[in-house]
């Protein structure tokens, strides 16, 4: 018997909570609500709630009910059961099918990815699998989509535990912070930043023995699993100690800060950081909130924007600055902190968290023009990483104009480089060359030599796409040489990727593969790499491996899919699925078609069409509708 809307009349419009983490359930005012009769109803509800675009009925029928005698009839039955559970105030109708929950309703996944950490850590399913125990037979495309979403939710859980631990640390709640840091370390045992946080918490609480045991344990794991000793974040954490016990020279705050700036400019990062840490102690002694905030902002920016891989310590310092700014009502300082936090989350591919911080900056009416331009630049970069290209272009174009109007040529150049990257990724190579040349010219005129390898590497790839191998060679060689001289891992990685593609274009596949593997090693040698770049290099490895039948191709594709899907890199997830579909992994071709429909990139169209023609053409036709 089909469920009826009348049965849901007993549920009020408010107090509805949808739990998708762990064993799924629906609560109404804290009490258990309607229990679905079909697992496919849970699958359908999750797909509707988590999809970025409303799906058509034919797509849903193909995705979940292809084996039914009447796929559209089976879909209607499940939609009716979902309505019964959500109550009469919910809207679930149309073609495409649109869902709108009652006012005041809560979805735990939404709290996890977009809410404040203080709310997210209270979720009963935090750390559990999405739709735990739900599997759908004969629905390979849905299972492939679900696996990607589970990876993304797992990454969000790790991020929120880490963010909450840092937030509690800033509040001085060391015991609670340590509990969450331990949970995060269990979920992500090879994340050096979480190890650094845990060691820092032990040191700040005065438990030096525990800090040493944690350091020794991580050293053994790092050597065994990563083939490297502990990195800069862990070494810096081992230097940590209760600030009240630090010896600080008698000097003015201005003099100490000035000395730190001079040291960082000269390349002496350790000495500069030590000076800025002393400035924080001096500012705390002065008791002036403005000094305490400013000292922490200066320290955090030094940690984040230098080449030492010290973003973790920078985030901790930013959280301290934010706590003081909020308590003192300094909204300008709060927006500055949020913009920097958003930047770090962007680099680490914690895109939902980055959008939350950067969106708050743009929503703040009192934010300065400079901070707004910064937030818009980073938000546009996030959209580009996630393959939301129209939004990226709008944001970055606006950011470039705003940066120019406030006289910040370096941010203007960075925005132009990201705009040029969008054109490159979408195959508009002439537009890419023009925009990237503008970025290079602007950076050179402002003597921002440490930035130039990034747009040069992208420009070299654009020249390669246009078939001008000589121009590509000149540009990429210069980019790589500058990147190595500076010692920037990201710039070295992106340049080496371009040189690898150039080597293949010149019929030297062995050298091309060697350069690509080296590019990935370079890009990831610090604990705080640009995560998108690693996946972008993996994409090139997979493409090259498929062309030359390399035995490691399947492993590269699996690693690419894991990283791309965990972080929400939509186009790179599609590309990873296409690489795996080439090996006939069930469901990946259909899932690629499904996800590609939401991406505005002409370059994807022939790739998706090609894989659609070579595996299960009947199901593809339904999925594309």
> Residue 88: which CATH number?
1.10.10.10
Whole domain around residue 110: which residue ranges?
A: 5-148
Residue 248: pLDDT band with limits 50, 70, 90: low
pLDDT of residue 302: 87
How many percent of the chain have pLDDT more than 70? Answer: 92
Nearest to 9 by CA among 68, 85, 104: 85
Tell me how many domains the chain contains: 1
Asked if residue 392 belongs to a domain, the reply is: no
Q: What is the dihedral of CA 229, 233, 236, 242, to 10 degrees?
A: -130
Place of tokens 């370059």: 603
pLDDT digits over 483-532, tens only? 999 889 999 999 999 999 999 999 999 999 999 999 999 999 887 899 99
Question: Does residue 133 lie in a domain region?
Answer: yes
Q: Flag whether 610 is in a domain.
A: no
Question: Which of 570, 544, 571, 538 has its CA nearest to residue 557?
Answer: 538
pLDDT tens, residue by residue, 587-624: 888 899 989 988 999 999 999 988 766 544 333 333 32
Alpha-carbon distance 278 to 253, whole Å?
Answer: 9
Region 217-229: mean pLDDT is 92
- Is residue 87 domain-resident? yes
Tell me the average pLDDT of the chain: 90
pLDDT of residue 267 exceeding 70, the answer is no
pLDDT of residue 247: 52
pLDDT of residue 266: 65
Taking each helix axis from N to C end, the angle separating 570-581 and 531-547, rounded to the nearest 10 degrees, works out to: 20
The predicted structure's pLDDT at residue 274: 83
Q: What is the pLDDT of residue 83?
A: 95
Exposed e or buried b for every residue in 500-515, given b needs 16+ CB within 10 A?
bbbbbeeeeeeebbeb
Q: Give the burial class of 584: count Cβ atoms within 10 A of its Cβ; 0-12 exposed, 13-18 middle, 19 or more buried.
A: exposed
Residues 332-342 pLDDT 10s: 999 999 999 99
pLDDT of 11 above 60: no
| Cα angle 230-187-563, degrees, rounded to a multiple of 5 | 80
The answer to whether position 53 is within a domain reads: yes
**Model pTM?**
0.90
Strands 91-93 and 98-100: antiparallel
Percent of the chain with pLDDT over 90: 76
Q: What is the mean pLDDT of residues 565-577?
A: 96
DSSP character for 223?
A: I
Residue 13 has pLDDT above 60, yes or no: no
CB atoms within 10 A of CB 445: 10
pLDDT tens-digit map of 417-453:
999 999 999 999 999 999 999 999 999 999 999 899 9
pLDDT at 504: 97
Residue 265 binned pLDDT confidence (cut-offs 50, 70, 90):
low
Nearest to 442 by CA among 410, 394, 484, 488: 410
Determine, yes or no, domain membership for 56.
yes
pLDDT level of residue 360 (50, 70, 90 thresholds): very high
- Structural domain includes residue 135: yes
Is 57 within a domain?
yes
pLDDT one-digit tens code per residue, 75-121: 999 999 999 999 999 999 999 999 999 989 999 999 999 999 999 99
- Token readout for 49 is 């709630």
Nearest-angstrom CA–CA distance, 213 and 326: 36
CA 138 to chain centre: 32
**Is the pLDDT reported for residue 210 higher than 60?**
yes
Count how many residues are written for the chain. 625
């Amino acid at each position: 018997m089909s469920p009826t809307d009348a049965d849901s009349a007993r549920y009020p419009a408010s107090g509805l909570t949808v739990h998708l983490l762990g064993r799924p359930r629906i609560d109404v005012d804290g009490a258990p609500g309607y229990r679905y009769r079909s697992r496919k109803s849970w699958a359908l509800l999750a797909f509707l709630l988590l999809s970025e675009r409303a799906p058509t009925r034919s797509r849903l029928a193909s995705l979940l009910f292809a084996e039914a005698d009447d796929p559209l009839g089976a879909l209607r039955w499940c939609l009716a059961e979902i309505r019964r559970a959500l109550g009469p105030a919910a809207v679930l109708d149309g073609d495409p099918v649109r869902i709108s929950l009652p006012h005041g309703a809560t979805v735990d996944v939404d709290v996890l990815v977009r809410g404040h950490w203080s709310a997210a850590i209270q979720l009963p399913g935090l750390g559990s699998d999405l739709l735990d125990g739900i599997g759908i037979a004969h629905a390979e495309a849905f299972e492939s989509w679900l696996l990607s979403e589970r990876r993304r939710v797992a990454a969000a859980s790790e991020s929120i535990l880490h963010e909450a631990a840092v937030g509690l640390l800033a509040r001085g709640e060391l015991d609670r912070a340590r509990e969450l840091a331990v949970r995060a370390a269990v979920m992500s045992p090879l994340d050096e930043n979480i190890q650094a946080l845990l060691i820092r918490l032990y040191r700040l609480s005065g438990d030096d023995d525990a800090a040493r045991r944690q350091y020794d344990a991580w050293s053994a794991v790092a050597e065994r699993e990563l083939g490297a000793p502990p990195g800069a974040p862990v070494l810096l954490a081992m230097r940590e100690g209760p600030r009240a016990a630090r010896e600080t020279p008698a000097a003015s705050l201005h003099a100490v800060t000035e000395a730190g700036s001079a040291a960082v400019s000269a390349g002496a990062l350790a000495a500069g950081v030590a000076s800025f840490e002393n400035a924080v102690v001096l500012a705390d002694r002065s008791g002036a909130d403005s000094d305490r905030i400013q000292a922490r902002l200066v320290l955090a920016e030094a940690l984040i924007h230098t080449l030492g891989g010290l973003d973790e310590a920078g985030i901790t310092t930013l959280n301290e600055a934010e706590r003081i700014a909020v308590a003192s009502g300094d909204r300008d300082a709060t927006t500055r902190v949020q913009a920097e936090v958003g930047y770090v989350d962007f680099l680490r591919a914690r895109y939902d968290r980055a959008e939350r911080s950067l969106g708050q900056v743009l929503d703040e009416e009192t934010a300065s023009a400079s901070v707004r331009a910064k937030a818009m630049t980073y938000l546009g970069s996030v959209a580009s990483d996630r393959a939301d290209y129209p939004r990226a272009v709008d944001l970055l174009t606006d950011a470039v104009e705003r940066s120019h109007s406030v006289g910040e040529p370096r941010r203007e150049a960075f925005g132009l480089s990201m705009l040029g990257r969008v054109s490159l990724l979408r195959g508009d190579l002439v537009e890419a060359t023009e925009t990237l040349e503008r970025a290079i010219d602007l950076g050179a005129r402002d003597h921002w030599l440490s930035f130039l390898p990034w747009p040069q590497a992208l420009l070299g790839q654009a020249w390669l796409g246009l078939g001008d191998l000589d121009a590509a060679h000149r540009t990429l060689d210069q980019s790589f040489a500058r990147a190595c001289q500076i010692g920037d891992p990201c710039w070295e990685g992106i340049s080496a990727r371009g040189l690898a593609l150039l080597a293949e274009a010149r019929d030297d596949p062995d050298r091309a593969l060697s350069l690509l593997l080296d590019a990935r090693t370079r890009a990831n040698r610090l604990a705080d790499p640009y995560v998108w770049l690693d996946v972008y290099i993996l994409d090139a490895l997979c493409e090259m491996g498929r062309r030359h039948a390399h035995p490691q191709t399947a492993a590269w594709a699996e690693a690419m899919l894991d990283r791309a899907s965990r972080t929400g890199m939509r186009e790179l997830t599609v590309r990873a699925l296409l690489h795996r579909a080439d090996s006939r992994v069930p469901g990946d071709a259909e899932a690629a078609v499904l996800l590609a429909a939401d991406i505005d990139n002409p370059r994807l169209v022939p790739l998706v069409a090609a894989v659609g023609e070579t595996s299960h053409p009947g199901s593809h036709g339904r999925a594309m509708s």
